[in-house]
Structure formats: C-alpha cells, structure tokens
Homo-oligomer: A and B are copies of this chain.
Amino acid sequence: MTDFRTDGAAALDWAARYLERVDELPVLAQVKPGELTARLPQSPPEQAEPFADVLRDLDELLVPALTNWQHPRFFAYFAVTASEPGILAELLAATLNQVAILWRASPASTELELRVVDWVRQLLGLPEGWHGHIEDTASTSTLAALIAARHVTGRNVVVCSEHAHSSVEKDARMLGMELRKAPADEELRLRVPDDLSDVAAVVATVGTTSFASVDPVRELAEAAHAAGAWLHVDAAYAGPSWICEEERWSQDGVELADSLVVNPHKWLLVPMDCSLLWTARPDEFREAFSLTPEYLRTADDAYALADYGPALGRRFRSLKLWAVLRCYGAEGLRAILREHVRLAELFASWVEESPDWELVAPQRFSLVVFRRNGSDEHNERLLERVNASGEIFISHTRLGGRYVLRLAIGNARTTEADVRRAWEVLNR
C-alpha cells in the first residue's frame, strides 16, 4: 500500500514534468488501435505493486498512447485547458471523496456548487433567479433539459438545427423522442420553423460544434413560447465567452431560455468534467426528477441537487470551478479568452490573405473553419499528414458536402508562435 506523502510527491512531480514538457510530445497519439492493449497485462495482479510501478508504466505504456489535450498546438474539436488550480482542486476533491446524494451527505459540496454556479451566472450576465447546478457533460445537461421539457409540455418532439451537436440527436433517441432537424440559413443559423405546435423542446445553439455559428435565440424563444414549447440553449462551447462584454452579441435572447448549458471544462480552464445547467423554471424542472425515497429522506433536503438531473451520487465538482474562478479572477479569465479570440482572428486573416486557402464560414469566437483550394481528397490527405506529423492536431467537418478543416483555439498555453507554427505546417 501507498505512503501517501512519498507517493504523492512522486505523482506531483510526474504531473509537473508532464505539464512542463507537454509541448515536446506529439499532439495526436502516434499509435494504432490495439497497440496499447497488446502491451497491457491481460489479468490483474494478485499481489500489491508499488505506486512507483504505476508511474513507470504511465511513462512507458500510456504516454505514447495519449492525445495531448494540454498541448499548446491542440487545435482539434474544441481545444480545452485543465488549469493548475483546477488540477489541484481535483486532488482535493478525490481526497475528500464527498458523495453529495443529498444535502446532509455533503453540505459543503451542495452549497458551494450552488454558490459558484451562481458566480458564473453573474460573470456571464445571465438573469437573476435562475437555478444552476453541475452535470458531467453537455450531453447529460441537454438530456436533463429534454426530460424536463417533455415533463412540462407532455409532448414528444425535439427541434434543432442541422448543425446542432450530435448529443441532441443521441439524447432524443435515448428518450424515445422524435427529432426534427431543421435547415439553417446561409449564415448557418437555424431557420425558425413554421409550426411548433406539437414540439416539446426547441434546442438553439450558440456556437455550433462544426462552425461556431449562432442560432437566432430570441426569435426561436419567442416562437417556442408562443407554441407552448420549451427553449433549451446549447452554449456549451461559446457560453464562457460571455464573460467578455464584446462577445455578448451572441447572448441576445438567451434571457428568454427555459434552460441553458455552458461548459467550463470547454473554455473556462476547468478540467473535465464540469458542465453547467441552468433553468429559469426550477420548480417544474425539479418535478421531472424528484422522488425522495424513504431511505434518503431527511428534514433538510431543500438543496437536493440530484433532483435536477439523472445521477444521484454527485462528485465535489464545484471545488475545481471555485479554485479556477479565484486563482484567475474574472480579469484573468477574460484576458485568456480574449487572446484566444485574437489568435483565431489572426489565423483567419492569414487564410483570407492567401490565394491558396479560403475561409468557409464566418469566423466566430476562437474557431476558424477553412480549406485549401483543391479537392476534398486533397484536404483530407492534408489533414491526415499534418496530424500524423504530431506537430499540430486539427479536425474536420463537412459543409454543403465539402470536406473542410477546423482550427479551434482554447488551450491556455497556446501562443501566437504556436498558431504561426500551425500555419507553417499547413503550408509546408
């Protein structure tokens, strides 16, 4: 068994060294499927092994199979950051091992969660009185919102944009709800559907995964409410940008939402997992989930956060959000997000100025969607080649059938030199 102080010092040193040298590792794992599996023992050990052996195998077996999300040249999907205060808070959360199934099981976790999620509400400029809590991912937050919407409306149809995140389709499918994907306009914004009379929920996206486009939330909210439907806003990626006044244009109409998801683990420096789910209708939302069985009933379950989502057991996730908000301050977070947006705009300007490349969607937030002149196959091979180099990692999507490339900036370590390097690699 472990000597916690000695092994802890070794683990901390390992973590520090990883973060110090992560930019020397390939961004995308340079292994083939099954390669790690073949190197891992087929059966568990019968006798205890020292923790040092775990660290050794972390280096020898696991590191080569990591795609390094902490790398400053990770530009795929949405780039994220597990900042240092957030990492250390996870150490503390695991140490305390709070299982906040109800208030008395962890007053600290429950009350801190409500308070710090409200801090974020204030930072984002969202309405007072909204009830917010933490889920693991936006998939789960949206799942909970759809459950509430079906409960409140008694209807079974979900409407979202053709560019909405795949989780909306997956959530609807899991719930046995019918999904209607509605077409978007030339700016990739969901067109307001004519008839919402049988619709339980309209899902509007602020910052779509493929293009960071922004649906017309106000019009959608008004149409949804006129038809008796619920409006859920997915701002998982772009929502954190509302800490900056200049990005609040994309918040127009969000104050009319019935529920909203924003992910601090995406663009607010919090390690996975931390997805915030607010609702403007907490009583109805809670009705959809609450059971309060006898063996959990106590005199003090005014704060039962499990009554707002699928899981009963809840990790002490608010600790990392609290640590990040305090150790950066609103000012520090704004500075980092502004730099990401500046770098994305800079990259987009290079694309626009070059005769070999084109921007294929309006540049929004910290995402650039672009392609090289030439065929889809050419762009696909280009992507594979640059990712195989290990120097940068970008991803792709399709627009109007065409294969296009995405460069997303979101790691706190990313500098202008890293973005310049990406441009060089792409042009090599």
> Is residue A122 contacting chain B, with contact meaning CB distance below 8 A?
yes
User: Would you call B313 and A40 a contact (CB within 8 A)?
Assistant: no
Which of B12, B120, B296, B313 sits near A8, CB closer than 8 Å?
B12
In the complex with contacts A97-B82, A175-B175, A271-B97, A67-B104 CB distance below 8 A:
yes
Q: Which of B19, B36, B98, B396 contacts A4 (CB 8 A)?
A: B19
Contact B95 A18 (CB under 8 A): yes
> Is A252 on the interface with B (CB-CB < 8 A)?
no
- Assess whether A226 is interfacial by the CB under 8 Å rule: no
Chain B residues positioned under 8 Å from A76 (CB to CB):
105
Given known contacts A31-B107, A86-B94, A136 and B136 CB-to-CB distance under 8 angstroms? yes
CB within 8 Å of B: which A1-28 residues = 1-2, 4-5, 7-9, 11-16, 18-19, 28
A66 and B103 CA atoms in complex are apart in Å by 10
Among A112, A209, A289, chain B packs the most CB atoms within 10 A around the CB of: A112
Number of interface residues, chain A, beta carbon within 8 A: 136
CB distance from A204 to the nearest CB of B (A): 18
Report the bound CA distance from A228 to B311 in whole Å: 28
**Inter-chain contact B176/A54, CB cutoff 8 Å:** no
Of A216-224, A254-262, A323-331, A345-353, the one contacting chain B is A323-331
Option from B84, B106, B150, B291 in Cβ contact (under 8 Å) with A166: B291
A315–B145 CA distance with the chains assembled, in angstroms: 22
A115→B35 CA distance, assembly (Å): 12
A53 & B326 in contact (Cβ 8 Å cutoff): yes
- Cα separation A163 to B116 with both chains bound (whole Å): 36
Q: Does A108 contact B (CB under 8 A)?
A: yes
A176 and B175 within 8 A (CB): yes
Please measure, in the bound complex, the distance between the C-alpha atom of A33 and the C-alpha atom of B123, giving whole angstroms.
Answer: 26
Give 9 CB contacts A-B under 8 Å: A4-B87, A8-B84, A37-B115, A44-B123, A46-B330, A48-B326, A69-B105, A77-B105, A310-B310
Interface residues of A (CB under 8 A from B): 1-2, 4-5, 7-9, 11-16, 18-19, 28-29, 31-37, 40, 43-51, 53-54, 58, 62-63, 65-67, 69-70, 76-77, 80-99, 101, 103-108, 111-112, 114-116, 119-120, 122-123, 136-140, 143, 147, 150, 166-167, 169-171, 173-176, 209-210, 265, 271-273, 288-289, 291, 293-296, 300, 302-303, 310-313, 315, 320, 322-323, 325-332, 395-398, 406
